[in-house]
């Protein structure tokens, strides 16, 4: 089974509040490469050029932990979702 097929089987139980957040929005504004948009396997991060802000679709987070260390400015606050929420891998 291919990775893409396994990802299709992953299920989520999203919380109403995000477990991911930006620490300082000004740092993102000045960040040239926007690495988070590239390294997140779930494409959680998207740069909104019109509003000059980072969009975070936390509902689809795979909880891989990459963004804890992947942001070159360590500008992402990462926590586990609250108990009972988040990704469920049991189908994949
Ligand atoms: S979270 Fe980090 S990598 Fe992403 S835009 Fe902000 S500073 Fe850049
Ligand atoms: S923990 Fe992994 S999947 Fe979740 S937002 Fe960070 S890089 Fe993306």
Domain CATH code at residue 62: 3.30.70.20
Give the residue numbers spanning the domain of 28. Answer: 3-88
| Residue with CA nearest ligand 1 atom 2 | 71
Average pLDDT on 61-90 reads: 93
Average pLDDT on 64-75 reads: 96
Banded pLDDT at 24 (limits 50, 70, 90): very high
**Any idea which ligand is nearest the CA of 74?**
1
Number of domains in the chain: 1
| Residue with CA nearest ligand 1 atom 7 | 28
Q: What is the pLDDT of residue 8?
A: 82
Q: What percent helix, strand, coil does the chain show, rounded to 5?
A: 30, 20, 50
Evaluate if residue 69 carries a pLDDT over 70. yes
Q: What is the pLDDT of residue 79?
A: 93
**Any idea which ligand is nearest the CA of 72?**
1
**Tokens linked to 78:** 């990462």
Cβ neighbours for 86, distance < 8 A, ≥ 6 positions apart: 12, 13, 14, 15, 19, 61, 63, 80
Q: What is the pLDDT of residue 91?
A: 60
The SS3 of residue 46 is: strand
């Amino acid at each position: 089974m291919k990775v893409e097929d396994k990802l299709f089987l992953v299920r989520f139980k999203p919380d109403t509040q995000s477990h991911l957040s930006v620490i300082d929005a000004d740092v993102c504004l000045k960040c040239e490469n926007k690495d988070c948009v590239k390294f997140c396997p779930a494409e959680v991060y998207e740069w909104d050029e019109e509003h000059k802000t980072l969009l975070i679709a936390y509902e689809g987070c795979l909880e891989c932990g990459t963004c804890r260390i992947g942001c070159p400015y360590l500008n992402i606050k990462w926590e586990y979702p609250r108990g009972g929420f988040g990704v469920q891998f049991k189908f994949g």
